[in-house]
Chains A and B, each alone.
Chain A
Amino acid sequence: MKKKLSIGKALLYGILVLYAVITLVPFIWAVSSSFKTLEEIVSGTINFIPRNFTLDNYKQIFLEQELFPRWLLNSLIIGVAGTSLNLLFNSMAGYALARLSFPGRKTLFIIILAVLMIPAQVTMIPNYLILRELGWLNSYQGMIVPAMINATFIFMMRQFFINFPKELEEAAEMDGLSRFGTFFKIVLPLAKPALAAQAIFVFMGFWNDFMRPLIILSDPSMFTLPLGLNTFKGQYISYWNYIMAASMVFTLPVLLLYGFFNRYFIKGISFTGGK
């Protein structure tokens, strides 16, 4: 009996390790390629440890492609501004839907639930035309404003605030705080865990988005990193050492974010997973 159990265990470990290897190999290969020289890249041998370890690729992408720092900056500006606005507006909307009674609240809530089911493709072309009318193509606001709220996270914040103790707000009101004062000084600071989970996902959404920037941004100096990478690939077709180095620079911020906020991450996913 005991032996059988340990065979089962070994099998389970086998599955886990095998899949870990399958997951890791592409990343290790990418990291290793980013430290290789071009000769080693084109030679086509499989060695995960670079023969002539070099940092040149990282230097070159910043020197040769003078727009690379600009793309990084664009991505950061859009990601940070977009995430901040989302945190603020989604929380405000979630709070209003959970706490305040006003005519049309139910309708708005149903609309927000319905929006969750609408695929982005149907609004993609009209949004382009609207942004074109506004003169917002190739602009930060064109990337940020249409995405400064998110139905999923409005819904999440509403659930959060419904379970939030009312007494705190009542006490704050007795102390003479206005509704906005209560919201910003009492409610939001206590919503940090929900905000953290939201922040990671919204930031990742902006940071990794490919289709929206592809449609909205055509001026290379306004590109975000995913678009820049795609351009890069076109320019340096077989320079996979450069392409991999640029990819790694692009991936690092999200990995750091994940490192810091790991536990909120799982929370956020299990929420989007309908919990």
Chain B
Amino acid sequence: MKKKRTYSKRSLREASQGYSFMAPTIFVLALFIIGPILYAFFLSFHKVQLLGTATYEFVGLSNFTNISDDSRALRALWNTFKYVIIVVPIQTLLALILAATLNAGLKGQSIFRIVYFLPTLTSSAVLTLIFMWMYNQNGLVNEILSIIGLPTYNWMGDPSVALIAIMIMNIWATAPFFMVIYLAALQNIPDSLYEAAELDGANAFKKFIYITVPNLRPVTSFVIIMGLIGTFQLFDQSFIFSGGSGGPDNSTLTVVLLIYQYAFKSLGTMGYAAAIAVMLSIVILGATLLQRKFSKEESLY
């Protein structure tokens, strides 16, 4: 009897310790994550006015139905879609090739690794500014293109190439991050698999296709999820590139930039912005869950 009481006292104490250790986390989760998620749903059904105190007027589903009539929203969706479809496969493939090359056991590996990692360390603001300087009319990129006899472009001013300029920049900036993830996974593939393949007479290319790639499948699916999540959220680069406008001619307008503009740069459209944000989150969540379902690995987290 006595023993049981001390036990329950102990567990009571442990529970109170548990809550005090968790207190800051619970506070932030409630006030800045869970609360806001519910609040976002609320906002998406309302017209929000922010003059002085915020006022809300219930408008039902009209924020959601308005999206399909909004040509800028459709343009932003299309731009984001193009961006995701082009950037994710290229950056994933590039990351895989770089990792496999780095992992081939050549000398100087660690130096290359440090060099490749520079873009990951640098902020998106700085990278965008560096590229804008290179994309200048008579900047480095055009100079190099004209030296090797290729056509030059008005990278930042021509609506038909501005988004491509951002794509190139971001593939360059994010591929090395995913390369490091691949690299860690490559080191976990048992050597015996390669040795067995060598006995069967497989060449380097065959080993890559039949051993490396299949063994990396769970990591690849992780890299693709992360890539999808990242590309759907493109904002900083578009914002800085276009000075916040999404121009020229809406060609660099992304969904998140549009959300930002509607929420903070025009009056009375905050609820509409919240509705687009909710839709975007559902798409991202859906992509994440789908990818998880398809990947054989139960859970990478």
Contacts and interface: CB of A to CB of B under 8 A. Distances in A.
Interface string A176-192: 00011001000000000
A269 B180 contact: yes
A272 B230 CA distance: 14
A111 interface: yes
Contact of A274 (B11, B112, B219): B219
B279 to A, nearest CB: 10
B29 A8 contact: no
B204 interface: yes
From B116, B144, B273, name the one whose CB has the most chain A CB atoms within 10 angstroms.
Answer: B116
A117 B122 contact: no
Contacts of A126: 35-37, 39-40, 43, 274
Nearest to B24: A89
B281 A119 contact: yes
Contact of B121 (A44, A146, A214, A258): A258
A211 B236 contact: yes
A27 B130 contact: yes
B130 A124 contact: no
Contact of B118 (A27, A118, A211, A215): A27
B259 A19 contact: no
A162 interface: no
Contacts of A168: none
Interface stretch (B62-70, B85-93, B95-103, B194-202): B95-103
Interface in B205-233: 219, 222, 229, 232-233
Given A125-B277, A250-B126, A273-B184, A204 B300 contact: no
A92 B22 contact: yes
A244 interface: yes
B177 interface: yes
B129 A247 contact: yes
B264 to A, nearest CB: 6
B288 interface: yes
B24 A101 contact: no
Q: Would you call the interface of chain B mostly helix, strand, loop, or mixed?
A: helix
A266 B132 CA distance: 30
Nearest to B116: A23
A12 interface: yes
Interface string B264-283: 10000010011001101100
A129 B115 contact: no
Contacts of A123: 32-33, 36-37, 40
Contacts of B172: 22-23, 26
Contacts of A117: 285, 288
Contacts of B239: 210, 214, 230
Interface residues of A, number: 94
Interface stretch (A49-57, A58-66, A102-110): A102-110
Nearest to B169: A26
A117 B288 CA distance: 8
Nearest to A178: B17
B143 A122 contact: no
A275 B184 contact: yes
A46 B281 contact: no
A118 B15 contact: no
A145 B32 contact: yes
Given A102-B14, A113-B301, A275-B184, A243 B277 contact: no
A171 interface: no
Contacts of B31: 130, 146
Interface residues of B, number: 93
Contacts of A19: 98, 112, 116
Interface in B108-155: 108, 112, 114-119, 121-127, 129-134, 136, 138-140, 143-144
From B17, B130, B132, name the one whose CB has the most chain A CB atoms within 10 angstroms.
Answer: B130
B53 to A, nearest CB: 9
A243 B139 CA distance: 15
Interface in A204-262: 204, 207-208, 210-211, 214-215, 225-226, 229-230, 233-234, 240, 243-244, 247, 250-251, 254-255, 258, 262
Interface of A: 8-9, 12-13, 15-16, 19-20, 22-27, 29-30, 33, 44, 46, 85, 88-90, 92-93, 95-97, 100-103, 105, 108, 111-113, 115-130, 132, 145-146, 148-149, 154-155, 179-180, 183, 204, 207-208, 210-211, 214-215, 225-226, 229-230, 233-234, 240, 243-244, 247, 250-251, 254-255, 258, 262, 265-266, 269-270, 272-275
The 9 lowest CB-CB distance pairs between A and B, nearest first, are A102-B18, A208-B123, A273-B181, A126-B36, A96-B21, A274-B300, A44-B138, A270-B184, A126-B39
Interface of B: 11, 14-19, 21-22, 24-26, 28-29, 31-37, 39-40, 43, 54, 97-98, 101-102, 104, 106, 108, 112, 114-119, 121-127, 129-134, 136, 138-140, 143-144, 172, 176-177, 180-181, 184-185, 204, 219, 222, 229, 232-233, 235-236, 239-240, 243, 256, 259-260, 263-264, 270, 273-274, 277-278, 280-281, 284-285, 288, 300-301
